[in-house]
Structure 1
Amino acid sequence: MENIRDKVVIITGASSGIGEATGKLLAQHGAKVVLAARREDRLAEIVNDIKEHGGEAVAVKADVVSIEAMQQLAQFALQAYGRVDVWVNNAGVMPSSRLNELRVSEWEQMIDVNIKGVLYGIAAVLPIMREQQSGHIINLSSTSGYQVSATSAVYAATKFAVRAITEGLRLEESASSSIRATLISPGLTNTELFSTITSPEVQTFASHLSGKGILPASIARAIAFAINEPDDTLVSELMIRPTAL
């Protein structure tokens, strides 16, 4: 993991789950991690834990649905460390439901966080990386970005969109500015995503899956693998899912 050492890595949605696990793992391998999320108290705990184990980390309270917040996050890292090597668009929500439940506000929330949040992150860091002529943007999709199931139409749509955005970014930037774009697609993972579900039907289904997912550390290792590859090698897409499902 020598190629991770000293890289400046920004991670959104870093207060729990995959974001937390990724921040801790990358810091363990010598990265300078900038952890962003809305829960400031939780971020402070994670930063303290990283520092106690000899790593380097800072926390920034930020909401991915705000382009201004994402721009400020990028500028904070740039001023603190002089560059941004990796941006991980990890923040996401999954209040899945059937379309006929008409949970329109939840549809809008998924579009705002899962699609606009990714685009705002790209918009914030892309000018910096183009100026550097280097960088790596990692977007979190899902196995739902490949296959739609009943109750997942809108969530799956947002994750299909992340796939399209990531591929477009790769095609536009890899040759001209050496910016790498990687798509990470987790299957069932034990995170807080299920806590955003309000549909009684989906809550019942989700309860039967409790504890059957893989640990966030498995996704963190996939992200670390993609970052660690040399600059002339692009891991463009990885899917990680439970063996038994």
Structure 2
Amino acid sequence: MLPTMVAQQGGDVVALSSVSGHTAIHHEPVYSASKHAIRAFVHAVRRQVAQHTIRVCAMAQGIVLMKLTTKRTKDRYQKKSGLFEGLRAEDVSDAITFILSRPPARHHSAECCRWAPEAVDG
């Protein structure tokens, strides 16, 4: 994928991460570590391909309410945060659309977009 973008002198890569890549979840250390790794990977690749007008960024969202979000997950989140307000999938796609709608430029890029419900700190 990247060799084609380099040849075309442009492209976009958006990696899905989590706010856990910024603030570790104490009861999910492996999950948090993997999201920190995504941040490091995005940072390194972004610097590597920036001169080719390729944008590489991470979308670090909080909990997203979906059909796959189990009652157990909802209950655990509500117990820890005091409320259960997560993001909708549309919220995340709107944020990604905003990032990708910015004109490409060699002198700046969005490395990470953190998008979280108000109950999430970090």
Partner of 1:218: 91
Partner of 1:147: 23
> Matches of 1:211 and 1:137 in 2, distance apart?
31
Deviation at 1:140, TM superposition (A): 1.0
> Matches of 1:217 and 1:185 in 2, distance apart?
14
Q: Residue 161 in 1 paired to residue 34 in 2?
A: no
Gaps (5+ residues) in structure 2? none
Gaps (5+ residues) in structure 1? 1-124
Deviation at 1:147, TM superposition (A): 1.5
Partner of 2:101: 228
Q: 2:76 aligns with which of 196, 200, 205?
A: 205
For the structure 1 residues 228 and 174, does the alpha-carbon distance in structure 2 shift closer, same or farther, using more than 3 Å as the test? same
Give the conservation status (yes or no) of the 8 Å contact 1:190–1:211: no
Aligned residues: 115
Deviation at 1:220, TM superposition (A): 0.7
Higher helix share: 1
> Matches of 2:25 and 2:90 in 1, distance apart?
26
Query: Normalised by the size of structure 2, how large is the TM-score?
Result: 0.81
For the structure 1 residues 212 and 220, does the alpha-carbon distance in structure 2 shift closer, same or farther, using more than 3 Å as the test? same
Query: Normalised by the size of structure 1, how large is the TM-score?
Result: 0.42
Q: 1:171 aligns with which of 47, 53, 64?
A: 47
RCO comparison, higher one (Cα < 8 Å, 6+): 2
SS of the residue aligned with 1:218?
A: helix
SS of the residue aligned with 1:224?
A: helix
- Aligned positions of 1:26-37 closer than 5 A: none
Cα RMSD for the two superposed structures: 2.3
